[in-house]
Structure 1
Amino acid sequence: MIFDTSIPTMRKKAIIRIKHLLEKNAKIEVLEKKSNRTYSQNNYLHLILGYYAIQYGETMEYVKQIIFKQWVNEHIFKTEFINYKTGEVREAWRSTAALNTKELSEAIERFRNYSVKSLGIYLPEPKDIVHLEEIENFMEENRIYL
């Protein structure tokens, strides 16, 4: 369980839980959980990916996996792993959930630049609430295309 120790009631629950585990002589691991990115950053990403997908005529999944990750941000998402049985080096693609706030911000900015240069599609900045609301409405009207 994750306890937010900045909240007094959660702090008390965490202390009770740790005391209980100590009484049981249990093996425990205590880790600091850091937020990878903000909820609004994730929502913003999906909003601009969806808008781009409708404008481009593709599915949002295609835009996210191929255009956003592989074409525009390969240096952030592409990784390698070694098949432990064959020793073969294979490529893999990181999930956006694995990125921290800074990495995701860079990936989004590169995608925004790519969008305007390649197709002339302007994707607003996160603080451009009016334009983002227009895109949200547009996507609701065109959801069947995603």
Structure 2
Amino acid sequence: MSLFNLKNEYDIPKFKAYVNKLFQERAVVEVKKKLPNRTLAQNSYLHLLLGYFGSEYGCSLDEAKIDFYKRTCNRDLFERKTVNKKGKEVTYLRSSSELTTGEMTLS
């Protein structure tokens, strides 16, 4: 998989050559716009709110983050399912560092 920054003049010709090569091969491709991850300000504000909520509710910041923020309020953003090596479906929680700025604003 290749990642190209089209704001960088050096990457533009490399991107065009790569796309033309894939086109000539008639390859199956997926093109995605890479969005920036959450900002430092968003992360700081989230932890401020979670810390305040935890102190008012009587739980730690981690408990507030996992139990309330991820599992209760934003289940659709954080819960993911995968199949483990034994073939069983396992549910896991994404890290908030994986969220884009748009997802972080939505949450």
User: Normalising to structure 2: TM-score of the pair?
Assistant: 0.66
- Supply the distance in 2 between the matched residues of 1:34 and 1:72 (Cα, whole angstroms): 23
Which residue number corresponds to residue 70 of structure 1? Answer: 71
- Supply the distance in 2 between the matched residues of 1:73 and 1:34 (Cα, whole angstroms): 20
- Supply the distance in 1 between the matched residues of 2:91 and 2:35 (Cα, whole angstroms): 27
Name the SS for the 2:45 alignment partner.
helix
Name the SS for the 1:79 alignment partner.
strand
C-alpha RMSD of the superposition: 1.7
After superposition, where does 1:44-123 map in structure 2 within 5 Å?
44-84=45-85, 86-107=86-107
Q: Percent same amino acid among aligned pairs?
A: 34
Query: Is the contact between residue 35 and residue 100 of structure 2 (CA under 8 Å) also seen in structure 1?
Result: no
- Supply the distance in 2 between the matched residues of 1:34 and 1:66 (Cα, whole angstroms): 27
Number of aligned residue pairs: 76
Name the SS for the 1:35 alignment partner.
coil
Cα deviation per residue 1:15-71 (whole Å; 9 max; x = unaligned)? xxxxxxxxxxxxxxxxxx863021111100000000111111111100000100001
Cα deviation per residue 1:104-139 (whole Å; 9 max; x = unaligned)? 1111xxxxxxxxxxxxxxxxxxxxxxxxxxxxxxxx
- Supply the distance in 2 between the matched residues of 1:104 and 1:82 (Cα, whole angstroms): 26
Which residue number corresponds to residue 122 of structure 1? Answer: none
- Supply the distance in 2 between the matched residues of 1:99 and 1:106 (Cα, whole angstroms): 10
- Supply the distance in 2 between the matched residues of 1:37 and 1:75 (Cα, whole angstroms): 17
Identify unmatched segments of 5+ residues in structure 1: 1-5, 12-32, 108-146
Name the SS for the 1:49 alignment partner.
helix
Pair 1:34–1:104, CA change in 2 (3 A): closer
Q: Which has the higher helix share?
A: 1
User: Normalising to structure 1: TM-score of the pair?
Assistant: 0.49
Runs of 4+ aligned structure 1 residues displaced above 6 Å come to none
Which residue number corresponds to residue 40 of structure 1? Answer: 41
